């Protein structure tokens, strides 16, 4: 669809890895020019979230994206501008897959839909830095009843087919700090070796069991792994401190028992970031999105599970029944040759419009 391709190209062209205001301006102005919706811009940090509302009904359905991106590779920059081009049916550029292409598809679907529900569109800031935009929005507004978060779900089961994710893992990043007492290395018994205490904590982490839960018949399993360790000040000094970084992928309703490391003398554990997992809380909604996906494309889409966190986690925690459905394929986001299929953007437009026109089901 020409409108989706043109808008996606325009959005990807606007740098938004440091300041997201210009991309927000484009989205806001397009919605004001192209729709009769109630369009607002809030005061979320780094440019503000863009929100549009139209229609009337007893339930609220939201199409959700974000317009911030991670810093580009040098090859994706031309001076201060992003390099954006089309080749072999794909759009290349920072943010094409994650996730300005899908934002464009959702915007055009929002414009073209004739819903029986109250239809919302949100484009958040700060998704890449912990969901700051989504959290700000939810602190000031009621959560929608249902939402499609337009992060990637394409080619999970079949190449080129856009699936529907009914769950995703979260991420809890934490730090283990081991404290000891320094001494000269020639007299190790005069001190308390913090690295030894840290090593004991690593053993605890290594032996932890990780939870598995079931969402709509799909298993979602967590993981926990030590990713960094730092300690000591010199080759001849018994270390007084040691820090260990832990990456945990969380599942809905469960966590690994990392608190157990604090049973070791001199060891403390702190959480640095906790991005929530998501599990769709409405089977009928998950099925309706899958029906819409099956109606508008060849192949047989399925319910799937995503391995990483999205803003759907924040919405789900606030009471929204969420799924994730979007154009990005695995291994495209955050890469130096990031791209998205233009045909898949059109498919996502059709899914979003089909769902908006048919929800709630009667």
pLDDT digits (tens, 9 = 90+) for 319-341: 999 999 999 999 899 999 999 99
Could you give the 3-state DSSP secondary structure of residue 151?
coil
Residues 6+ apart with CB under 8 A from 62: 119, 120, 121, 122, 144, 146, 147, 148, 315, 320
Q: Cα separation of 104 and 188, whole Å? A: 63
Please say if the pLDDT value at position 309 is more than 80.
yes
Please say if the pLDDT value at position 288 is more than 90.
yes
What confidence score (pLDDT) does residue 48 get? 98
Q: Which class is 170-275 in CATH?
A: alpha beta
Residues of the chain with CATH 3.40.630.10: 2-169+277-358
Task: Give the model's confidence band at 78: pLDDT under 50 very low, under 70 low, under 90 confident, else very high.
Answer: very high
Q: Cα separation of 7 and 100, whole Å? A: 9
Instruction: List the CATH code of the domain at 2-169+277-358.
Output: 3.40.630.10
What confidence score (pLDDT) does residue 22 get? 97
Q: Cα separation of 253 and 8, whole Å? A: 36
User: Can you tell me the mean pLDDT for 131-149?
Assistant: 98
Alpha helix stretches (DSSP H) within the chain: 2-13, 21-34, 101-112, 132-140, 194-207, 283-296, 312-317, 342-358
Q: What are the structure tokens assigned to 159, written together?
A: 């190449």
What confidence score (pLDDT) does residue 2 get? 74
Cα 265 to the center of its chain, rounded Å: 37
What is the DSSP code string of 30-58? HHHHH--SEEEE---TTT--EEEEE---S
Q: Cα separation of 329 and 197, whole Å? A: 42
The structure's pTM equals 0.94
- Predicted confidence (pLDDT) per residue in 291-307, tens digit: 999 999 999 999 999 99
What confidence score (pLDDT) does residue 184 get? 96
User: Can you tell me the mean pLDDT for 118-133?
Assistant: 97
Q: Cα separation of 261 and 269, whole Å? A: 7
Please say if the pLDDT value at position 1 is more than 70.
no
What confidence score (pLDDT) does residue 316 get? 98
Could you give the 3-state DSSP secondary structure of residue 261?
helix
Task: Give the model's confidence band at 11: pLDDT under 50 very low, under 70 low, under 90 confident, else very high.
Answer: very high
What confidence score (pLDDT) does residue 361 get? 83
Q: Cα separation of 211 and 256, whole Å? A: 7
Q: Cα separation of 281 and 141, whole Å? A: 20
Average pLDDT, the chain: 97
Q: Cα separation of 323 and 333, whole Å? A: 19
Residues of the chain with CATH 3.30.70.360: 170-275
Q: Cα separation of 314 and 139, whole Å? A: 11
Please say if the pLDDT value at position 44 is more than 70.
yes
């Amino acid at each position: 669809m020409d409108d989706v391709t043109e808008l996606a190209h325009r959005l990807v062209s606007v740098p938004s890895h440091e300041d997201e205001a210009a991309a927000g301006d484009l989205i806001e102005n397009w919605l004001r020019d192209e729709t009769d919706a109630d369009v607002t811009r809030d005061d979320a940090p780094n440019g503000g979230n863009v929100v549009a509302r139209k229609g009337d009904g007893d339930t609220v359905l939201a199409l959700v994206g974000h317009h911030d991106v991670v810093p580009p590779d040098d090859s994706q920059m031309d001076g201060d501008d992003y390099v954006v081009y089309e080749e072999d049916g794909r759009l290349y550029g920072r943010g094409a897959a994650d996730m300005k292409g899908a934002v464009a598809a959702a915007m055009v679907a929002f414009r073209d839909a004739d819903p029986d529900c109250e239809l919302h569109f949100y484009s958040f800031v700060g998704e890449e830095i912990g969901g700051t935009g989504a959290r700000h929005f939810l602190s000031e507004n009621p959560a929608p009843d249902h939402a499609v978060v337009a992060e990637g779900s394409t080619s999970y089961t079949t190449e080129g087919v856009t699936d529907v994710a009914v769950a995703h893992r979260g991420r809890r990043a934490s730090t283990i700090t081991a404290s000891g007492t320094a001494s000269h290395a020639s007299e190790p018994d005069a001190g308390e070796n913090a690295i030894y205490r840290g090593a004991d904590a690593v053993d605890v982490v290594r032996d932890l069991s990780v939870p598995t839960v079931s969402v709509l018949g799909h298993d979602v399993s967590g993981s926990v792994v030590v990713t960094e360790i730092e300690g000591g000040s010199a080759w001849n000094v018994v270390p007084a401190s040691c820090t260990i970084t832990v990456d945990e992928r969380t599942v809905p309703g469960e966590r690994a028992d990392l608190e157990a490391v604090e049973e070791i003398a001199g060891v403390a554990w702190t959480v640095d970031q906790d991005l929530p997992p998501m599990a769709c809380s409405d089977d009928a909604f998950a099925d309706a999105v899958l029906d819409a996906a099956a109606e508008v494309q060849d192949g047989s889409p399925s319910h799937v599970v995503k391995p990483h966190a999205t803003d759907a986690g924040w919405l789900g925690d606030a009471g929204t029944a969420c799924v994730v459905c979007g154009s990005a394929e695995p291994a495209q986001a955050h890469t130096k040759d990031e791209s998205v299929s233009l045909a898949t953007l059109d498919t996502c437009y059709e899914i979003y419009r089909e769902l908006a026109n048919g929800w709630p089901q009667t």
